[in-house]
Amino acid sequence: MNQDGVELFYSQSGESGAENGAAGRTILVVDDDESLREFLEILLQKEGYRVVTAATGEEALERLDEEDVSLVISDIRMPGMDGVSLLKAIKGRWPEIPVVLITAFASMDSAVDAMKEGAWDYLTKPFRIEELREILERALEAADSAKTVEAPEKGGETGEKVHRLDEMVARSPAMLKLFQLIPRIAATSSSVLITGETGTGKELAARAIHNLGPRRDRPFVVVNCGGIPENLLESELFGYAKGAFTGATHEKKGLFETAHTGTIFLDEIGELPMLLQVKLLRVVQQKAFTPVGGTRPVNVDVRIIAATNRDLEKEVMEGNFREDLYYRLNVIHVKMPALRERPEDIPLLVQYFLDKYSREQGKKMQGISSFAVEALMQYQFPGNVRELENIIERSVALSTSNLLLPESLSLARFKQGKKEEEKADSILPRIPPEGMVLDDLLNSIEKSYIKAALERTGGNKTEAAALLGMNFRSFRYRISKYGI
């Protein structure tokens, strides 16, 4: 082991750069310790990577401006801009570049904070070369899956960046954060709980976790816990033995056994009856279950991903869901944003679904009018992406022209919304008999919206200002004015 805390062993029988995907990759190494920089440079060059180095965070940002960097390795503790500050700067300007941090054991808290800020992973000194090699390969593979491509020249959005991850496409900051998180989840074997409103794409996220992980070539089994009758659900999940009940003329393998070595996706997990929650808990804890009518346990190696649109914490408090099962499933939590929280994605998704259903239905659609897109942008989409897809599919099927117009959308809810808006306009605001100070009311409303924007963006003032259509200086003045 050298003085920098790296175990010095190198296997000549390891993969070549071409085999491990290093060819054409540039890695930026950032460390104020010259000897560690040189060591990593030599090591990574032997692996087939092109390496550039920087002694400070400020110098690293200059290198990133000059070079096409695939990945950054940085020490956490450096004079001036430390590794966490550098990470934040990189994620602000180059969010697609994975960052791996090196930390001493004494600064583990900083490493954990860095993971929350979007670091791909961290290495604790002393680290093994094999560990570094594995992290780099996984990070670069995930970056390839989530790389950005240019949007097609449609809908007035020429050249805008579109982020793709498995079967999902987006350009919004909310989804980009999710795209950065999912590959890191995929590399683990932990149970995952995906929450979000109906139609937000929970199954797509689950598939991405499976497809980007080491079980990608194994089964991915989907179970709709709310779509199978309760009296059949146990035998569907766990199978049954011959003679277990009337009509059981042969042994049947359940869905958990079908998913062996792969992933099982339990959708609508909040609908699972209490009796089956007990049996599921045993599978999570012991990786084993007993088929209906069986006497011998069946061992399974399966990753569990669950999803729900319910508030499971509330269900636990009300006694409808087992607390121990909730915590076993909720090892890693993924929250899918509602479509109204990512309006930047609406035009992109509209074009995606328009192309899809034009091909399926054999129609040569020229596109969608800007007025129709504007109408969709103003809609709240209680059914989220699934509702948008249904709207476009129906509109393509019923359209009599090659251009989707507002009237082509056939949205009864739009018409209802307009009537409700007209009804609201006819109601005059109430002014108390003693009168009121209008400025105080307006200030109170403004303060509430600023607080809501900050809560929506997790305290990010720049994003909150943009959300409210304000410049940053004006937004900062109001924060100070209201003492927020």
In this predicted structure, the answer to whether residue 156 has a pLDDT above a threshold of 50 is no
Domains of the chain in sequence order: 6-145 (3.40.50.2300), 165-335 (3.40.50.300), 341-425 (1.10.8.60), 438-482 (1.10.10.60)
Q: Is the pLDDT of residue 323 over 90?
A: yes
Instruction: Give the integer Cα–Cα distance in Å for 417 and 381.
Output: 12
Cα–Cα distance measured from residue 112 to residue 404, given in angstroms and rounded to the nearest whole number: 49
Q: How sure is the predictor about 379, in pLDDT bands with cuts at 50, 70 and 90? A: confident
Q: Between 108-117 and 83-93, two packed helices, what is the crossing angle to 10 degrees?
A: 10
Per-range mean pLDDT, top range of 10-19, 289-298, 317-326, 428-437: 317-326
Confidence of residue 162 (pLDDT cuts 50, 70, 90): confident
Which pLDDT score is estimated for 146?
A: 60
**pLDDT > 70: what percent of the chain?**
85
Once rounded to an integer, what is the mean pLDDT over residues 166-191?
Answer: 90
Distance CA 114, CA 387 (A): 37
Distance between CA atoms of residues 89 and 282, nearest Å: 45
pLDDT higher at 417 or 269: 269
Q: Are 150 and 159 in contact (CB under 8 A)?
A: yes
Nearest 5°: the CA angle 118, 139, 352 is: 80
- Cβ-based neighbours of 223, under 8 Å, separated by 6 or more: 236, 237, 255, 264, 265, 266, 267
Q: How confident is the model at residue 107 (pLDDT cuts 50, 70, 90)?
A: low
pTM value > 0.75: no
Q: From residue 287, how far is each of 219, 241, 244, 297, 377 by CA, in Å?
A: 17, 19, 22, 10, 46
CA distances from 438 to 284, 441, 444, 448, 470 (A): 58, 5, 10, 15, 22
Which of 317, 335, 30 is closest to 193 using CA atoms? 335
- pLDDT per residue as tens digits for the range 333-367: 999 999 999 999 999 999 999 999 998 988 888 78
